[in-house]
Amino acid sequence: MTLKKMTAAGNTFYLLDMNECILDGVLILSQSKVADIKMRILNRDGSEAEMCGNGVRCVGRYLGRNCRVETLSGIKNVEIKGDKISVDMGQIKNPHKVFFYDNKDINCEFVKVLARNVLQMTVFERGVGETLACGTGACAAVIEAIKENYCDYDTNVTVKCKGGDLFVMVSSNGDIILSGDAAMG
């Protein structure tokens, strides 16, 4: 991560290059008219989040005292007791989708569409937990993505997994072909 103070024609800026950093976001603090301090959070991709519970707790630690923090989802009260920092979350306005599953009964794939015919998948396999890839899971993900019109029949769909890319072709007649690297040892 690169943070540089820069000036141009008398204007002063802090330039934060997030292209090489491994962090979840940037907390920006400023004066608030309604609370002790105002917090904005910029995600790694540059988008602004409405709220970040752990970020607000970090602001409390930074200030070193109980405080009220203004966020896009309202004012949050932070309380510090020793090493424990708590925040009254009130209503959570960030969009979340929560799934409950019993890993003893099913494999569970979490899939993000990156582009047409390109998916990113994280998988939890029954009896194992999170794994680097799953061939049957990749096939199931592509079948569902075709149903949702994110992918096409008769096309090699790339499924990006932590362990490497898998390629799945589902033909219009129902055949499913799974391809990818395999190595010894």
Active site residues: 52, 134
142 close to 159: Cβ distance less than 8 angstroms: yes
CB count in 10 Å sphere of residue 96: 6
CA–CA distance from 96 to each of 93, 111, 135, 163 (Å)?
9, 15, 27, 26
Query: Whole-angstrom Cα distance, residue 143 to residue 109?
Result: 12
168 Cβ contact list (under 8 Å, min separation 6): 138, 139, 141, 142, 156, 157, 159, 176, 177, 178, 179
Query: Whole-angstrom Cα distance, residue 141 to residue 20?
Result: 30
CA–CA distance from 160 to each of 44, 71, 152, 163, 169 (Å)?
20, 35, 17, 8, 14
Half-sphere exposure of 138 (CA within 13 A, CB side): 28
